């Protein structure tokens, strides 16, 4: 997702383009129980689809984590583009021959264009591709992880976590909306601000939200209580990139994540949970932001720090 060309609104503020291919993959291709149907419906079918998700991208990282947590690795295959790309799209330059071994393509754009010739919008990850046809199915990232939980349930591992507990969904939706607008997107609002006033307004909004989260996590282990939910997945991918990228590159520098005790302990707790930290590639994360965003970092120099070993230190969250 982060390869989209940022758009700017009046007075230099950043506004994300949230228009995606709205198709969804559902049980039997039937109308889903939750959410809108604004595009085509595709049937759940093990082995048919490939999740294309760059480890560098926070939005794609969500889908990788959810796939791991639910045990869908043998049901939906994973393609991982490299961290840097040109104006055409994400590329499979980490794979032998610079081509995805299943789709046989070098640029993700090829799957987009096969479904929509000369696709006019940003070529974003995560994306789900129909392997038999080589065509894009959807890139609608919030619904991808939602449907991995609700629509692929017949294929979850026996001990898969309940990422959308029914009794918490209403509150969870409110929490996730604030996390998205103020934190997930808030760091980009700071980084791509076009003038001082827009940047300072974005900065204040971001740290107001981080202070709210710091307080919320003082007496609960995870965002919604004692168990991991989708809300934690959505927050984690931003926190994992905060000190390595957003603090300096995006000027989100009131303080580091490591200087907020509850959030830092919470982030390390998740990082050390199977399915979270093992999806993080700090070298790819830093290469993506510091190389691709040449308008912000024209030298292309990638910082050496911070010290990644700190993510493995005791988090102490068991006592919460």
Per-residue pLDDT at 9: 47
- Write out the residue range of the structural domain in which residue 312 sits: 167-319
Pick the catalytic residue: 20, 49, 112, 188?
188
Q: Is 107 assigned a ligand-binding role in the annotation?
A: no
Do residues 14 and 93 both lie within one domain? yes
Q: Which one, of 131, 85, 77, lies nearest residue 109 by Cα?
A: 85
Contact 227, 161 (CB under 8 A): yes
Q: Are residues 102 and 125 in the same domain?
A: yes
Residue 270 has a pLDDT of 98
Same domain, 309 and 180: yes
Positive or negative CA dihedral for 136, 139, 144, 145? positive
Domain match, 182 and 313 both: yes
161 lies in a domain? no
Active site residue 57: yes
What pLDDT is stored for residue 3 in this prediction?
A: 46
Residue closest to 37 by CA, chosen among 29, 48, 47, 45:
29
124 and 72 part of one domain: yes
Other beta carbons within 10 angstroms of residue 130's beta carbon come to: 21
> Among residues 49, 57, 112, 252, which one is catalytic?
57
Residue 182 has a pLDDT of: 98
pTM: 0.95
User: Is 188 in the active site?
Assistant: yes
User: What's the average pLDDT block by block, 10 residues per block, for the chain (320 residues)?
Assistant: 45 79 97 95 98 98 98 98 92 97 98 97 97 98 98 98 98 98 98 96 98 98 98 98 98 98 98 98 98 96 98 96
Residues 109 and 232 reside in one and the same domain: no
d(CA 98, CA 291): 19
Residue 1 lies inside a defined structural domain of this protein: no
Same domain, 141 and 176: no
């Amino acid at each position: 997702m982060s390869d989209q060309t940022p758009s700017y609104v009046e007075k230099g503020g950043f506004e994300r383009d949230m228009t995606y291919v709205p198709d969804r993959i559902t049980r039997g291709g039937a109308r889903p129980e939750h959410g809108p149907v604004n595009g085509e419906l595709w049937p759940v079918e093990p082995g048919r689809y490939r999740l294309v998700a760059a480890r560098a991208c926070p939005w794609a990282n969500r889908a990788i984590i959810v796939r791991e947590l639910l045990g869908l690795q043998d049901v939906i295959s994973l393609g991982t583009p490299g961290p840097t790309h040109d104006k055409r799209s994400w590329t499979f330059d980490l794979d032998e021959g610079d081509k995805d071994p299943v789709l046989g393509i070098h640029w993700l754009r090829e799957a987009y264009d096969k479904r929509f010739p000369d696709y006019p919008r940003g070529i974003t990850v995560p994306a789900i591709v129909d392997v038999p046809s080589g065509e894009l199915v959807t890139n609608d990232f919030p619904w991808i992880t939602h449907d991995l939980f609700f629509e692929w349930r017949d294929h979850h591992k026996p001990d898969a976590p309940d990422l959308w507990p029914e009794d918490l969904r209403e509150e969870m939706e409110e929490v996730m909306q604030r996390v998205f607008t103020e934190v997930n997107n808030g760091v980009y609002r700071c980084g791509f601000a076009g003038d001082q006033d827009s940047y300072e307004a974005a900065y204040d909004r971001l740290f107001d939200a981080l202070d709210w989260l710091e307080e919320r996590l003082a007496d609960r282990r995870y965002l919604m209580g004692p168990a991991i939910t989708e809300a934690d997945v959505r927050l984690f991918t931003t926190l994992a990139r905060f000190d390595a990228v957003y603090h300096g590159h995006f000027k989100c520098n009131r303080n580091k994540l490591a200087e907020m005790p509850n959030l830092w302990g919470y982030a390390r707790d998740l990082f050390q949970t199977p399915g979270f930290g093992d999806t993080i590639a700090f070298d790819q994360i830093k290469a993506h932001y510091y190389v691709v965003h040449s308008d912000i970092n024209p030298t292309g120099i990638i910082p050496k720090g911070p010290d990644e070993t700190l993510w493995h230190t005791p988090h102490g969250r068991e006592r919460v």
